Chains A and B, each alone.
Chain A
Amino acid sequence: MGDVFSNLALGFGAALTFQNVGLCFIGALVGTLIGVLPGLGPIATIAMLLPITFTLDPLGALIMLAGIYYGAQYGGSTTAILVNMPGETSSVVTTLDGHQMARQGRAGAALGIAALGSFFAGTVATFLVALAGPLLSQVAQNFGPAEYFALMVVGLVGATVLASGSVLKAVAMIMVGLLLGTVGSDLESGEQRLTFGIPQLADGINFTTLAIGLFGVAEILRNLEHTQDRGVLGAKITGLLPTWADIKQSFPPVLRGTAIGSVLGILPGNGAVLAPYASYTLEKKIAKEPQRFGRGAIEGVAGPESANNAGAQTSFIPLLTLGIPPNAVMALMVGAMTIQGIIPGPTVMVENPTLFWGMIASMWIGNALLVVINLPLIGIWVRLLRVPYRLLYPAILLFCCIGVFTVNNSFVDVLLVAFFGLAGYGLIKLGFEPAPLLLAFVLGPLMEENLRRAFLIARGDPSVFVTRPISAVLLLIALALLLIVLLPSVRRGREEVFQEED
C-alpha cells in the first residue's frame, strides 16, 4: 500500500509542474472542442498534433494527447445531449435520455450530471489503475476469443432493452445493424462483402458516418418537418445545474456505471465500447419505473456517462502494462511514445516509473480540469440552443460534413452521411429506433471475428464456449437476460388473449 502512495506521490510530483498542467489543460480544451464537433474525433486530432509532440518531453507529450482523448469523450456527450448527435461510440446511449432532457429544458442538468458523474468515475478509475493495474491486466489475459464472443452476445441481447418501444422493431433494427456491420473485407480470405466495388467501403462503413447520419441528420430532418415540435427552443430552461434531488437520484447509477466501466475497460479488445450500453441496460432493468427511460430519466445519463469515462481511463491499463493498445487512439499513443524513444511494453513500468506514474496522476488532473472547463461552458451551450433553428441547423450540417470528411479524407463518407440521414428519417417516421441498430453494427463484426477465431483455435469444436468457465458464465447471463426481456411480452400477450376471451 505504502508503495502505491509513494509511487503516486512521484507521479503527482511529475505531473503537477506548471508546464504539464498547462499541457493537460490545452489537451482537455482541444479535446472538448473536438468532441463537440461532430465527426472530427480524437484520432484525427491526435494524428494531426503528433508532430508538435516532437518538441515536448515524453511525459508532457503524452499528457497532452491523453487530455485530448478524454476531452473528446466528454465533448461527444455534449452534442449528444444538445442536438442528438453522438460524437463517439460512447455517447450514443447518452442521446437516448440526455437529448430528451434537453427538450424538456433540462439540458443544464444533463450536462452537469454528465460532468460530475464522469469526474467521479475518473477518480475511482485512476485509483484502480494505480492500485491494481498490472494485476488487472493479468486477469484480462484470460479473456480469449470465446469469452469476447460470449460478452458480445450479452451485449447484443441487452440491445433490445435500449429501445423504449416495441421489442419486435428493436430486433429488426438489430438485424439491420448486423447486416450493415458485414460490409467490408472478410478477415480471413480478404473477399469483399457488400462493397459494390467501392474501394472506400473495403474497410467497412465508418461508425461516425453511420451515427451522424442516423442520429444527427435524421434528427435535423425531423425537426424541419415538425416546426412546432422543436422543444429544444420552446421549453423554459429550468436552471443551469443539476438540483440536489438530481444528484441524489444519480448517485447510485454513477456508482454502478463506474464499476461496469472499470471492469469492461480493462479488456484489451476494446471492451470499453460496451460499458455505456451495459450501464443503461442495468439502470433500466432495476429502475422502479422503467417507462421513464427514453423520456428524460437522469439515471440514463448518469450511469452511462460514468461508465464510459471509467472505461476510457482503465483502457490505459493494457497500454501501460502490456504495451498493447486496446483501440485506435491508444495505438496513436504507442506511436507517440515510440517517436519519443520510449518503447511501450511490460518494461515501461520498471524502466520509466516517472512516465508511468506521471501519466496516471495526470489522468486524474485531466478529469478535474474537464469539470473546471465544462461546468461554466454549460451556460454557453444552453444559450446556444436558443439560436433560431433556421440558423442553427445549417451550421450543424456544415460541421457534420467537415467532421466526417476529416475521418478518412474521403468524399464517399459525406455522401454516405446523406444517405443514412434519409434512411434514419424514414426509420423515425416508421416508428423504429436507431440505437439498437448502432449497437448491433458495432458488436456484429466483433462477434463474428471472435466466433470464427474461437472456432479456428478450437479446431472447429463448439463445446469450447461452454467448457471455458468465463465464456460459459457469460452465455448463461445472456440467456437469463433474453428470458427477462421476452417474459413480459409473453405474459402481456397471454393477458391480452385472456382479456379478449373474456
Chain B
Amino acid sequence: MRYKSFAFAALATVMAWSGASAQNFPTKPITMVVPFAAGGPTDTVARLIAQNMSQTLGQQVIVENVGGAGGTIGAARVAGAEADGHTVLLHHIGQATSATLYRNLKYKPAEDFAPVGLITDVPMTIVAKKDFPAKDLKELVAYVKKNPDKVTLANAGVGAASHLCGMLMMQALGVQLTTVPYKGTGPAMNDLVGGQVDLMCDQTTNTTSQIKGGAIKAYAVTTPTRVKSLPDLPTTKEAGLTGVEVAVWHGLYAPKGTPQPVVDKLSKALQTALKDQTVITRFAELGTEPVAQERATPKVLGDFVKAEIARWQPVITQAGVYAD
C-alpha cells in the first residue's frame, strides 16, 4: 500500500520536475551562438538583441562567436547542443542557402532546429565604384549588358549575402560577369572604394556609411519598398530590374526537441527586444528595422526557412558553384 503511494509521489515529482523545468527556464546563462566573426553585421544584430533579452529573461544571454565555413560550424554546434533552450543560434539567410551550397552537411537546416522567430530583414544595395560610367540603374543595366567582359563584380566569398545577390543579378541580367571573391566585406569594400573593382551588391550595414560619405555610388535597394535611411535610392522593381529582390533575413533558432514552452518563452523575449526603442534606433542606423511582431514567431520562421530553401535551390544549382 505504502509502495503505491510512494510510486505515485515519485511519478508526480518526476512529472512536476519536467514541467517545472520549462516554467523555471532559464536556470543558467544562455549562450547565443553567432556563426560569424565578432564585429560583423550579424554579430552586431545579435549583441543588440542579446542585451535586451538578458533583461527580459532574467539571465545573461552571452554571445559566442563560432565562425567558419559560411556559418555551418556554428550552426552544427547548436544542432548538436542540449535541447533545453540554453543554447540558441542566430543565423541569417545562410541557414537556408547552406542546405544547397553545402552538399555534405552534418545536419539538416530545415529539420534539426526549433525555430524561434525572425528578427530583421537587412536590405541590400547595388553599389559601384565612384567613377562607374552609369548615372542610374537603367544605364547600369544597359552598360553591363553591352560590356559583360569589362565589368567585375565583387563579393565576400561563396555563400556570403553579396555572393547570393550577385548570382541573382547576373541571372536577371542574363550575363556572366567576372566575379572577384574576397575574404569578407571589409576587403571587398576597400577595393570598391579604391576603384579596383566595379560593382558589388551588399547589405546596407556595410554600404550605408560609404554611400553617405560619397566614397561609392549607389543605384538601388533590393527590397520591395524603399529603405528609410536611404530614401533617394529606388527599389530594383521601380528602376525596372525585376527578379533581384533579396534581403538578408536573420532568425533565431533552438535545437530540435526543445520543449514548446521554452521556445515560446524565447519567442516572447525576442518580441520584447524588437519593440525596444534602443534596438529600433540602432537597427535604423544600420539601415534596417525589426520585423513585425507576428513574424517573430516559431511557425512563421519555420515556414519561411522551408520556403527560402526552396527558393534558392534552383538559383544556386543553376550557378553551379558550391561551398564544398
Question: Is A191 interfacial (CB 8 A cutoff)?
Answer: yes
Q: How far in angstroms is the closest Cβ of chain A from B316? A: 11
**Are A339 and B47 in contact, CB atoms less than 8 angstroms apart?**
yes
Chain A residues positioned under 8 Å from B51 (CB to CB): 51, 54
Chain B residues positioned under 8 Å from A325 (CB to CB): 39, 186
Question: Is A269 interfacial (CB 8 A cutoff)?
Answer: yes
Contact A189-B47, Cβ < 8 Å, known A50-B38, A328-B37, A459-B149: no
Binary contact track B264-294/A, C-beta < 8 Å → 1, others 0: 0000000000000000011001100000000
Question: Is A318 interfacial (CB 8 A cutoff)?
Answer: yes
Which residues in chain B, 62-77, are within 8 Å of chain A measured between CB atoms?
A: 62-69, 72-73, 76
Contact A190-B321, Cβ < 8 Å, known A144-B191, A324-B186: yes
**Are A346 and B39 in contact, CB atoms less than 8 angstroms apart?**
no
Question: Is A268 interfacial (CB 8 A cutoff)?
Answer: yes
Which B-chain residue is minimally distant from A345 (CB atoms)? B209
Chain A residues positioned under 8 Å from B323 (CB to CB): 185, 190
The listed residue (B47, B190, B214) touching A346 by CB distance below 8 A is: B214
Question: Is A378 interfacial (CB 8 A cutoff)?
Answer: no
**Are B152 and A457 in contact, CB atoms less than 8 angstroms apart?**
yes
**Are B210 and A200 in contact, CB atoms less than 8 angstroms apart?**
no
The listed residue (A202, A331, A453) touching B37 by CB distance below 8 A is: A331
Give bound CA distance, A185 to B189, whole Å: 21
**Are B38 and A332 in contact, CB atoms less than 8 angstroms apart?**
yes
The listed residue (B67, B189, B209, B324) touching A192 by CB distance below 8 A is: B324
Q: How far in angstroms is the closest Cβ of chain B from A226? A: 39
The listed residue (B40, B183, B194) touching A187 by CB distance below 8 A is: B183
**Are A202 and B68 in contact, CB atoms less than 8 angstroms apart?**
yes
Give bound CA distance, A336 to B323, whole Å: 30
Q: How far in angstroms is the closest Cβ of chain B from A334? A: 5
Chain A residues positioned under 8 Å from B39 (CB to CB): 47, 325, 328, 331-336
Contact A144-B210, Cβ < 8 Å, known A51-B47, A187-B181: no
Which residues in chain A, 326-352, are within 8 Å of chain B measured between CB atoms?
A: 326, 328, 331-336, 338-339, 341, 343-347
Q: How far in angstroms is the closest Cβ of chain B from A119? A: 28
Question: Is A246 interfacial (CB 8 A cutoff)?
Answer: no
Give bound CA distance, A325 to B43, whole Å: 15
Q: How far in angstroms is the closest Cβ of chain B from A162? A: 26
Chain A residues positioned under 8 Å from B208 (CB to CB): 343
**Are A141 and B47 in contact, CB atoms less than 8 angstroms apart?**
no
Give bound CA distance, A324 to B207, whole Å: 11
Which residues in chain A, 19-57, are within 8 Å of chain B measured between CB atoms?
A: 43, 46-47, 50-51, 54
Give bound CA distance, A167 to B321, whole Å: 42
Give bound CA distance, A54 to B279, whole Å: 13
Q: How far in angstroms is the closest Cβ of chain A from B55? A: 12
Give bound CA distance, A202 to B39, whole Å: 21
**Are B197 and A457 in contact, CB atoms less than 8 angstroms apart?**
yes
Q: How far in angstroms is the closest Cβ of chain B from A301? A: 32
Which residues in chain B, 33-72, are within 8 Å of chain A measured between CB atoms?
A: 37-40, 43-44, 47-48, 51, 62-69, 72
Chain A residues positioned under 8 Å from B214 (CB to CB): 346
Question: Is B257 interfacial (CB 8 A cutoff)?
Answer: no
**Are A341 and B281 in contact, CB atoms less than 8 angstroms apart?**
yes
Give bound CA distance, A453 to B197, whole Å: 10
Chain A residues positioned under 8 Å from B141 (CB to CB): none
Give bound CA distance, A339 to B47, whole Å: 8
Which residues in chain B, 156-214, are within 8 Å of chain A measured between CB atoms?
A: 157-159, 178-184, 186-187, 189-191, 193-197, 205, 208-210, 212-214
**Are B48 and A191 in contact, CB atoms less than 8 angstroms apart?**
no
Question: Is B230 interfacial (CB 8 A cutoff)?
Answer: no
Give bound CA distance, A46 to B37, whole Å: 12
Chain B residues positioned under 8 Å from A189 (CB to CB): 158, 321-322
**Are A343 and B285 in contact, CB atoms less than 8 angstroms apart?**
yes
Contact A50-B47, Cβ < 8 Å, known A43-B38, A199-B69, A409-B66: yes
**Are A144 and B194 in contact, CB atoms less than 8 angstroms apart?**
yes
| Contact sample, A vs B, 8 pairs, CB 8 Å cutoff | A47-B38, A144-B194, A202-B68, A203-B69, A268-B190, A324-B186, A339-B47, A459-B178
**Residues of B at under 8 Å CB distance from A?**
37-40, 43-44, 47-48, 51, 62-69, 72-73, 76, 101, 106, 149, 152, 157-159, 178-184, 186-187, 189-191, 193-197, 205, 208-210, 212-215, 281-282, 285-286, 321-324
Supply 5 further A-B pairs (C-beta < 8 A) apart from A190-B159, A268-B187, A341-B285.
A47-B65, A185-B69, A269-B187, A322-B215, A456-B179
